[in-house]
Amino acid sequence: MGKPTGFMEVERKVSSEVAAIERLKNWREFKIQSDEKQLRSQGSRCMDCGTPFCHTGHIISGMASGCPINNLIPEWNDLVYRGRWREALDRLHKTNNFPEFTGRVCPAPCESACVLGVIQPPVTIKNIEAAIIDRGFEEGWVLPRIPQRRTGKKVLVVGSGPAGLSCADQLNQAGHHVTVMEREDRIGGLLMYGIPNMKLDKELVVQRRVDLLEEEGIEFKTGISVGHDADWTVERIRKEFDAVVLCCGATYGRDLEIPGRNAKGIYLAMDFLTDNTRHQLDHAFNGSNPVLNATGKDVVVIGGGDTGTDCVGTSLRHGCRSVVQLEIMPKPPESRAANNPWPEWAKVYKMDYGQEEAAALQGQDPRQYLVQTQAFIHDAEGQLTHLEVADIIWDKNEKNQFVPKEVDGTRRTIPCQLALLAMGFAGPEQKIISQFALETDARTNVKADHDCYQTNVPGVFAAGDMRRGQSLVVWAINEGRGAARECDRYLMGVTQLP
């Protein structure tokens, strides 16, 4: 612990951002990293507490508390404070394959579990993590790690999101020949197409890491949809590979089957985001908008979370006329409620980047809480024109379950020509699961215990959202690493992977 009194002397300061109105003019990342003096000062706030909950990675009340990949946070905070950046990078890479991703898009459950957060604003862990890896690339410290020996074993990883990439990275470092198959035209899965460029740069951040992994020996194949591609049957895969790890995500989006659902102008949020990012990449971010766009439209985003926020930010950059975000849950309190104690994930009100941008343009947070969509209204040509909505309360039904109940007299219509459904995901797509004859759980996820990731089919493993359900990028990395460890054990009898 470099400065025992740091947390008493230094106030929390996060990295700055390009002003909301200015950043809406382009698709570039808008975070501005703090200078070294401020970063080292923020590192001094780490308390060297007796039990650092920040890196425990427990599940408390159904939510992550602390870092799911057990980042050695107090160690690299102290090293940053001392100016020992190279050593901080080494400690960071011991647990995290891709800190440049988590340092940008992770919601930082580590900070909610920070012991300092009991009495003061927590340590700026996420900012420091991003600064360490960004400096590592700037200084040329992040170099290809080419395995010195090969085992002769061949492993197929299906899916190139954070779970698939972390799994492939670990297995490659163990000496196996790893092939990653991705159905999209670019590698990265959710990282490439599910998160907008202004939050995670595709060319400078995602592709940079993919290129590094390829240089280290991983073979990437795009445009192959395992389970659908006639050239890559299950029989061929099992014949050509010694093991298979399925990291296909939970991509089956929740729909909203209410009157008028067949109207034109209603899309799943991920289809909207994917189409936009593909267009921006194909056109080198030249300012044009894709065919599926929000330009000049009244947009309503149904649902919250990161995906809902990304839809808000994307719609604003398209030049929408207005944007509203409907949340079926109540507005969170300004500070922790009595039933949400530390070190649980803090369920408190905050505006993410999309809401900040909407507020800058429209004068207020675009979210409306405890509102449920009742019907989609369209014109004679079938084009969406309005939504019928109503206020709701949560009350118990005859089975003692909390359900939404409409408040009498609150039905109304709001203008909408583009509705984006951001209500989460119902589970993985089932075709590949059925072709491999895998067992599933009650939520249609692939059944595989967390400790072993082994499915009911020998030599076939599952990890990430496909196994645990929709979750965080950092959990996907955790799952990919765990599946790689157990796959290595299956192939070699023993493993040295963490």
pTM: 0.95
Give CA–CA dist 324/410, Å, rounded.
Answer: 17
The pLDDT of residue 3? 84
Containing 391, the helix (H) or strand (E) segment is strand 384-396
Strands 322-327 and 367-369: parallel
> Six-digit token pair at 10?
């230094």
Q: Contact, 469 vs 250, CB < 8 A?
A: yes
Alpha helices in 62-117 (DSSP H): 73-81, 85-93, 99-105, 109-112
| Cis geometry, peptide bond prior to residue 343 (ω within 30 degrees of 0) | yes
> Six-digit token pair at 289?
């908008």
The pLDDT of residue 22? 97
Backbone φ and ψ of 415, nearest 5°: -65, 140
Flag residues of the chain having pLDDT under 70. Answer: 1-2
The pLDDT of residue 267? 98
Q: Which residues fall within 8 angstroms of residue 152, CB to CB, at 6 or more apart?
A: 177
Superfamily of domain 6-139: Alpha-helical ferredoxin (1.10.1060.10)
CATH of domain 154-251+426-492: 3.50.50.60
Same fold, 154-251+426-492 and 255-423: yes
The pLDDT of residue 4? 86
Beta strands across the sheet bearing 219-222: 219-222, 177-182, 154-158, 243-246, 460-462
Superfamily of domain 255-423: FAD/NAD(P)-binding domain (3.50.50.60)
Q: How far apart are the first and last CA of the chain?
A: 26
Report CA-CA distances (Å) from 414 to 99, 284, 355, 374, 408.
42, 35, 19, 11, 17
Strand partners, 388: 375, 413
Report helix, strand or coil for 318.
helix
The pLDDT of residue 488? 98
Backbone φ and ψ of 228, nearest 5°: -120, -30
**Residue ranges covered by each domain of the chain:** 6-139, 154-251+426-492, 255-423
The pLDDT of residue 405? 96
